[in-house]
Amino acid sequence: MDTSDRPGRLAVGVLGAGRVGSVLGAALALAGHRVVAASGVSDASHRRAVERLSVELTRPDDVITRSDLVLLTVPDDVLPGLVAGLAATGADLRGKLLVHASGAYGLDVLGPATDLGALPLALHPVMTFTGRDDDLVRLNGCSFGVTAPATLRPVAEALVIEMGGEPVWIADQDRALYHAAIAGAANHMVTLIAESQELLGRIGVEHPGRLLGPLLGAALDNVLRLGIAGLTGPVVRGDAGTVRKHVDALILAAPEAADAYVALARLTADRALAAGLLKPEAAERLLDALGGNIWT
């Protein structure tokens, strides 16, 4: 379906044609907007600009000049300096939609540009991007953490829906906690599962992923449906002896993993106790097994 004749189509520029920027730019192009320029420094960025966005890389100031909407899709630590640099160089930002995709930052980071007349939006896709071709498909039904001035909320909502996403409104002051919650869940899950696969591989399990897949799928389904009530395993059962065996085995095989196990077991016990899933006397036994206080 041709979407280019819809009203309100925008010229889109991408400052940072990496994994996220190329996907968001491509999604806006599918909605009928026109990607007119992109910037980047790596060979991968050049390839994505050509293959996904159908543009060649150019200078950041040229991206700004040619665009109505500019995606600032650079790493979080680079974002403040990029915005400050754009403002300091006197780029004409008046009336331009300036959109960053950082989860941790809200609108304040765009302040120097907003002072020059830019229209600030924070649109963070709650999704992991690997740089593969299926990244664009993953946007369909994906939530976006959205922060916008009241006057721009309809614009932010429309852009997210056009990209196939669902807007979830996050207050400006809550962005850091919002991002900590989702990054902690997704990133630490990857680390924990990779660690489990490595430990299983050490003892000769040929296909750790195949062994773990059904268990992890069930655990994820349980927690998403039931919350902490979906918890199973030795901690919630109060099996202090089993927990101690786990800790002892990990101290010998992977001391750094043992530290993480103890910290997470304490958090799990604390949650289970608060939810009434773990009795106080069982929690005391776990406390001894873990060698520390779960009530902090």
pLDDT tens digits, 67-91? 999 999 999 999 999 999 999 998 8
- Helix, strand or coil, per DSSP, at residue 124: strand
pLDDT tens digits for 150-204? 999 999 999 999 999 999 999 999 999 999 999 999 999 999 999 999 999 999 9
pLDDT level of residue 133 (50, 70, 90 thresholds):
confident
Residue type, 228: I
Phi-psi region of 95 (alpha: psi -120 to 50; beta: other; left: phi over 0): left
Domains, the chain, in order of start with CATH, read 11-170 (3.40.50.720), 178-290 (1.10.1040)
Question: Does the model's pTM come out above 0.85?
Answer: yes
Q: What angle do CA 152, 28, 9 make, to 5 degrees?
A: 65
Residue 180 is encoded by which pair of tokens?
């900590």
Tell me the pLDDT tens digit for each residue of 15-72.
999 999 999 999 999 999 999 999 998 998 999 999 999 999 999 999 999 999 999 9
Give dist(CA 37, CA 134) in Å, integer: 23
pLDDT value of position 90: 87
